[in-house]
Amino acid sequence: MVQFRSYAISLAAVLAVPMSVDAEVPSERVREFTAFIQPAYPLYLAQSGVWESDPKQLAILAEKAAAGLASVAPSDCNPERLRRDFCGLRVFVQPSTSMAPTLLEREMVVQRRYAEGETPERGDIITFETVPNYSDTPTTYVKRLIGLPGETVELRDGVVFINGDALAQARIDGAFKDSFDKNVKVFEETAPGGRRYRIGMSDAPSSAGMDNAGPFEVPEGHYFVLGDNRHNSADSRFPEQMGKNGFVPMQSVSGRIVTIIVSKDKARIGLAVD
């Protein structure tokens, strides 16, 4: 059964930024996923505040979403497993602009659990639960893994340093409005090992701690995380907001975001998440 988690939704979604798409999936596998997801797809759309009544359009969108799911589901995922436990996948609505431009507010995204023996890698968009200091209720967070156990992470003028080495940032085309109606420019950040992803930086951060923070010594058994929308994210820079000491215990990581199945920007449906 597909699992949902309810979130408070804020302002409208931001401008889409293209992401990579996985290799083509065999058509029979896509047909199996389409047959499973199509009856529920109007509900998925409603969960994200997207409405579509044209049956032909619904079928097209459902097939795109199914192709995205089929590309990221475990290789042994078959119709029987889909009906039984959704092959271990989980869907929920991205609650804010904190991960823009990679994930947009109110997009429905898919989480995949890490396989046995598999560990999160730097650059993964991980999901984890923590109890923020302003609440008694566990909250699911979606952030990008930046710092690994034993590393030192620091931000200087918006640039991330890991063990003293800067992560390259390059301005690229694209901009969007955040939830405070600020103009946010898009940059490409390159992590050690060459993994690249897109982040957002506004001209005027709301606090000095957004661009200049740390150094943070990442404890063993923990991760340091940041939102891609660097000037509009509660993350490891702000332990008073995220809870505990701001670091993410390994055991609290429930999976990583792998694809988008609902978006107001229909071109983003079925895209893999970098």
Catalytic residues: 98, 143
Are β-strands 125-130 and 139-147 bridged in parallel, bridged antiparallel, or unpaired? antiparallel
Quick one: DSSP state of residue 130? Answer: E
Q: Which two tokens stand for residue 196?
A: 């690249």
Are β-strands 108-112 and 196-202 bridged in parallel, bridged antiparallel, or unpaired? unpaired
Quick one: DSSP state of residue 22? Answer: P
Q: How far apart are CA 96 and CA 94, in angstroms?
A: 6
Q: How far apart are CA 86 and CA 6, in angstroms?
A: 19
Query: With contact defined as beta carbons under 8 Å apart, do 178 and 169 qualify?
Result: no
Displacement of CA 215 from its chain's centroid (Å): 25
Torsion-angle region of residue 52: left (phi > 0), alpha (psi -120 to 50) or beta? Answer: beta
